[in-house]
Structure 1
């Protein structure tokens, strides 16, 4: 059943060419957002991934150095599935990312290098759905992305970055928000979203005893169809969009 028209989601803006997706860990973008990225790259848009850590604390059965190498490989493979060829890592420590000027400076420097019109990040709120506590890394990075969007354009803030200030960020899109405002139709790219998450096989196998493909498909298809009633009945990836 289609929801109340007052509760409908707007389409994401289409008048942009470059996006930079900044999240804390390998796999953060694959838990729902990758299907939208595939739709954008299919349209010829350029999307770059920036991971603040290498996810080295994410697999209990692997020592951090080994885990970091595995998770970097998995992230690059998952990005390729949805048409992303540029994946960068900042090497902050997984699990203990600190919000503050040092993180903001690193993100502002990346924004100045890549000059995106659209920034993408993950839910910075305290909880998921008011029930599950969000991790410190997600909260720190999401908040820092929102702040760095402005920092990047101010030549008096972090004036010693290599690239010149960039005030061209027009929107910040937050994935996984409890209060989304916009959505992307992923009818044609949902399967690639599933396959993108499935590339994180080592991580998934350490996380659950469920068959990895079943796990990935149930999650990604479930998220997309859950939001369909608010977007004309179409499977979708949702965002809370902050214009600048």
Structure 2
């Protein structure tokens, strides 16, 4: 009976760790398909929990129950080893940087530079996000900010502020955008600022680009990221190696369930763009940026 009780407790502990979203996000730093990993663990340990409870309750004195308890221990070791083997290596940085990412809509940061932000967090830098609208025209205004917070939490951002400036009409409140971005810069004092490109056909993205440049007119390092709506004039010359972080970006994008079904939100599109920019950078996977200006000493070992 005792082995079955131990097996049931172990199964319950694993399930309690994996099932809640807040705990599940700890898997972000592993090179695995996050949804596939979670699904496999939930199925295996649900079955093991039921079998161990059956053995502990009915108390049959059989080798079968002992085998089930041993299988629980073995499964825990196998999953633990598999996860450890797939852990994303994180370098130790010489100097910790502060990075501010400014986007127009709740899913913009994940789509454009989610892998880069996650990598920066894992290597010891502090990253904050600033979103200028709740995306009410393109989706559920009550749900999208919540999904933005979920995505930011998954990527590891230390903070995310979602404003409620009018979606699709950000150009009508330019001065308000500038003041909001100026306040964020003054409070956070970032070393590097990420924002939309000037070569973007979405009017909100362009408005945020202009507002960021005005707000950061005295800042030395601004990089423009690639949204799905950039034009053919988008011409990146800065690339970030995101090997190991493509699945992380996919999962962050998928956290925006309100936007599910849009072609640019699919895992295939995200992976394809990462591979395309990786080929340009003579690497496997990359995210691309246009520098407005970039001070070498500020970006350091990013």
For structure 1, the residue ranges without an aligned partner over 5 or more in a row are 1-13, 60-66, 128-133, 154-168
Describe the superposition over 1:13-42 as per-residue Cα deviations: whole angstroms up to 9, x where unpaired. Answer: x96610111111001112131011111001
Aligned residues: 194
Q: Are residues 1:149 and 2:149 paired?
A: no
Give the TM-score, by structure 1 length: 0.74
Describe the superposition over 1:148-194 as per-residue Cα deviations: whole angstroms up to 9, x where unpaired. Answer: 112xx5xxxxxxxxxxxxxxx43111001611010110002111000
For structure 2, the residue ranges without an aligned partner over 5 or more in a row are 1-93, 295-302
Q: Select the structure that is richer in strand.
A: 1
User: What is the match of residue 222 of structure 1?
Assistant: 272
Matches within 5 A, 1:22-101: 22-59=102-139, 67-98=140-171, 100-101=174-175
Measure, in 2, the Cα distance between the counterparts of 1:100 and 1:75: 22
Measure, in 1, the Cα distance between the counterparts of 2:100 and 2:166: 21
Measure, in 1, the Cα distance between the counterparts of 2:240 and 2:95: 14
User: What is the match of residue 45 of structure 2?
Assistant: none
Q: Select the structure that is richer in helix.
A: 2
User: What is the match of residue 192 of structure 1?
Assistant: 248
Aligned pair partner of 1:122 in 196, 212, 216: 196
Q: Secondary structure at the match of 1:88?
A: strand
| Residue 220 (structure 1) shift | 1.2
In 2, are the aligned partners of 1:32 and 1:220 still within 8 Å (CA)? no
Give the TM-score, by structure 2 length: 0.60
Describe the superposition over 1:43-70 as per-residue Cα deviations: whole angstroms up to 9, x where unpaired. Answer: 01111010101111112xxxxxxx1220
Aligned pair partner of 1:179 in 235, 242, 251: 235
In 2, are the aligned partners of 1:18 and 1:117 still within 8 Å (CA)? yes
